[in-house]
Amino acid sequence: MVHFPDVERVEWLNKTVKQMWPYICQFVEKLFRETIEPAVKESNAHLSTFCFSKIDMGDKPLRVNGVKVYTENVDKRQIIMDLQISFVGNTEIDVDIKRYYCKAGIKSIQIHGVLRVVMEPLLGDLPLIGALSIFFLKKPLLDIHWTGLTNILDIPGLNGFSDNLIQDIIYSYLVLPNRITIPLVGDVELAKLRFPMPKGVLRIHFLEAQDLEGKDTFLGGLIKGKSDPYGVLQIGNQLFQSKAVKESLHPKWNEVYEALVYEHSGQHLEIELFDEDPDKDDFLGSLMIDLTELHKEQKVDEWFDLEETPTGKLHLKLEWLSLLSTPEKLDKVLRSVRADRSLANDGLSSALLVVYLDSAKNLPSVFTGSLGCGNLSERRASGLVFCESNPSEHRTIFSAKKSSSEPSPYVQFTVGHKTLESKIRYKTKEPLWEDCFSFFVHNPRRQELELEVKDDKHKCTLGNLTVHLSGLLAEEDMTLTQSFTLKNSGPSSIIKLKMALRILSLEKQVSSDLPSSVQVRKSSVPLPTKAPSQRRSASHSQLPPPTPPPPINSSTLTLQHRDGEPYSASPLRSISNLSTCMSSSQKHLSHKESTPSLASDISLPFATLELQQRLRQLQNGSAPSQFPLGEVQLTVRHSSQRNKLIVVVHACRNLIAFTKDGSDPFIRLYLLPDKSRTGRRKTGTMKRTLNPVYDQTFEFSVSMVELHRRTLDVAVKNGGSILSKHKGFLGKVLVDLSGDDISKGWTQWYDLSDDGVSSQGIRNIQDSLYT
């Protein structure tokens, strides 16, 4: 009998894709010109002359590096496959905005991730499969090399445009719960396939930790202190962050989070602990939970050993909540979450509301003008909605320039304290959204869904609606599909919705006393061990993964919490909707447009000349030594799992003396081309020494894809007060990061030079491993 590995290689599929690639490119070009280009033109008045002048996907086809087919814990009427895909394309896409004489484009695209393909339902007749659904379980690594991006930023109204914004928009279409659905037969219910009901809800009681590593130090590291620990939890694109507990190695959080789980096969709950610091947060350990095993266990309450750290464990209580359409279960659930006694509409959830927004018809036109022109009720009756113009327009419109226009509608939903917004449909009275929203409900007998249709351009209301959730309890299967008449709208304005209410039921009330099998053990790696104090070095073998803390990434929300018991406090929920949880990177300049720091040696061009002059004085006509400016020892490694570049600055030797008492050296690092103040890292200053020892670790957030275009800039400087005449530049090195062994890491001594270009690693250290 032949046993296949979990993930199988499929070269036959890559050969097929290569043969089909020219035709795939034709389809992509058609998609860009017929779908994306008109949508971009309608999205903003400044983009009305937008067009694609060139679309070339290149001759390098997408590759499938492996396929995993799930055969257990899946519906027998579906096939689930995970494809490990990689696309490194020599793509050329040029855009032209003629109105502003603006040209920009894309020179290359890279994407790496796991793409899930679901074939369902399986049929007893050709084509045997009803539809294909395609999506990513979690965000793939996406890298776009732009040209002329700054030209687009100069266009009025587009100053918020950024690389990260575009990536977030792409993620909003491709990352679960969003998906691309391709129907293969006509009678398949697309709404159900595009936005299926979640498989369940995971309630996470994030309770406490013990024996965490003390990261705060005093007296230059001589005394170990405590930590200020907090946790970051992630399931797919849902993220949660706990509060930080000050000065504790045994913190108690007692917080609760609730997360939707659409696919438990292949998904994990990932938890990382960090020590909160003013400059950078130190990593305290990680934990990964297999949701497939948790689905089997239903309820787990135990202590877990943290990984990637020498000490520490974490106490979690995990509960799998099933979704039931039986209203008679509600009373029992309300008692368990104490919603039967509280009049508040926040706390642990008893139900889940899923709203499918289909379409609207006969929305009113938007009338702009002054309030004194006509009667508001008359305009509504004739299908117009009034939007007050600003005072500068007032006089113009009042002098006979009244106008009505097609609305650009979007829908705002509110349940309790949570508000979500749909996508915008531009310039239409009959928008088609086909959008889905989920809300946790504390008590459906008292709460209601509030809906408001708005116009994007004028920010006025086109109609509203209130639905009492108690009415869904009496519907068959607790599901209602209906066209509702909008209030405060046109005479025949309607909106079509499908709503489903599900009771959140914990089927297993008592957890087992035996240890569970839900924890996923990561690849076993040796813990870092210290070498003798005077010799910091490492071999060229694979380094243990010193895991840096992530500054909370693109879809992370910093949540406000209340202290107290987890059972009376509100559970904290992530928000994955793009309109309510934008990337934090959109609020900051990317490394391509970052502002140079005033402390950069590049911003002081005389520093290099001064160093060269000092070097000539030291040599005084004698032959230059082999390493005239000394050397710096670095460990460099990239963690692809966490998208971090880890740099350990070990030591320097044979530095030049800045004064008769020696030098006061410190080391400054940049990951070029980012030279912003926030992108700078630096060590402490060592006094009166030419052979300083640092052993400090620094991290940079960067993907493996992007790393090949970056350079590590390491400069050694002489410290001193701000007004000191002895501040200066001692040498630098530019480290190439494009090597294939960057994921394994290396430790080397590098020559220092005045420009960094001539610096090279002169020997590999073969001593004991040190990080």
Contacts of 200 (CB under 8 A, 6+ apart): 261, 264, 295, 320, 321, 322, 323
- With 80 as the cut, is the pLDDT of residue 328 above it? yes
Average pLDDT over residues 251-275: 89
More confident residue, 612 or 529: 612
Averaged confidence pLDDT in the chain: 75
Residue 133 to residue 208: CA distance in whole angstroms: 39
Average pLDDT over residues 457-468: 90
Query: Picking from 52-66, 389-403, 490-504, 603-617, which range would have the lowest pLDDT averaged per residue?
Result: 389-403
Strand partners, 80: 70, 118
pLDDT at 575: 35
Average pLDDT over residues 758-771: 39
More confident residue, 80 or 218: 80
- With 80 as the cut, is the pLDDT of residue 163 above it? no
Condensed to tens digits (0 to 9), the pLDDT of residues 16-57 reads 999 999 998 998 888 888 877 887 777 677 778 888 888 998
- Return the percentage of the chain with pLDDT > 70, whole number: 70
pTM score, whole prediction: 0.58
Condensed to tens digits (0 to 9), the pLDDT of residues 673-709 reads 887 777 889 898 888 888 899 888 898 988 887 887 7
Buried b (16+ CB within 10 A) or exposed e, 26-47: eeebeebeeeebeebbbeeebb
More confident residue, 474 or 180: 474
Query: Picking from 157-161, 220-224, 373-377, 583-587, which range would have the lowest pLDDT averaged per residue?
Result: 583-587
Residue 636 to residue 169: CA distance in whole angstroms: 33
pLDDT at 196: 75
Average pLDDT over residues 261-275: 87
Half-sphere exposure of residue 14, counting CA atoms within 13 Å on the CB side? Answer: 17
Condensed to tens digits (0 to 9), the pLDDT of residues 410-424 reads 999 999 888 999 988
DSSP state of 175: B
Sign of the CA dihedral running 210, 213, 216, 220: positive
More confident residue, 662 or 439: 439
pLDDT band at 493 (very low <50, low <70, confident <90, very high): very high
pLDDT at 469: 93
pLDDT band at 587 (very low <50, low <70, confident <90, very high): very low
The full length of the chain comes to: 771
529 phi, psi to nearest 5 deg: -125, 145
Condensed to tens digits (0 to 9), the pLDDT of residues 607-649 reads 455 555 555 555 444 444 445 788 999 989 888 777 889 899 9
Contacts of 461 (CB under 8 A, 6+ apart): 385, 452, 453, 454, 488
Contacts of 443 (CB under 8 A, 6+ apart): 334, 339, 340, 345, 350
269 near 289, Cβ under 8 Å? Answer: yes
- With 90 as the cut, is the pLDDT of residue 185 above it? no
Condensed to tens digits (0 to 9), the pLDDT of residues 91-136 reads 888 888 887 778 888 888 888 888 999 998 888 778 888 888 898 8
Query: Picking from 235-249, 529-543, 640-654, 657-671, which range would have the lowest pLDDT averaged per residue?
Result: 529-543
Contacts of 338 (CB under 8 A, 6+ apart): 347, 348, 567, 568
Residue 229 to residue 584: CA distance in whole angstroms: 22
pLDDT at 48: 80
Strands 252-261 and 200-210: antiparallel
Average pLDDT over residues 501-505: 93
Condensed to tens digits (0 to 9), the pLDDT of residues 333-361 reads 988 888 666 666 667 899 999 999 999 99
pLDDT at 501: 94
Tokens of 625: 């030594």
More confident residue, 73 or 439: 439
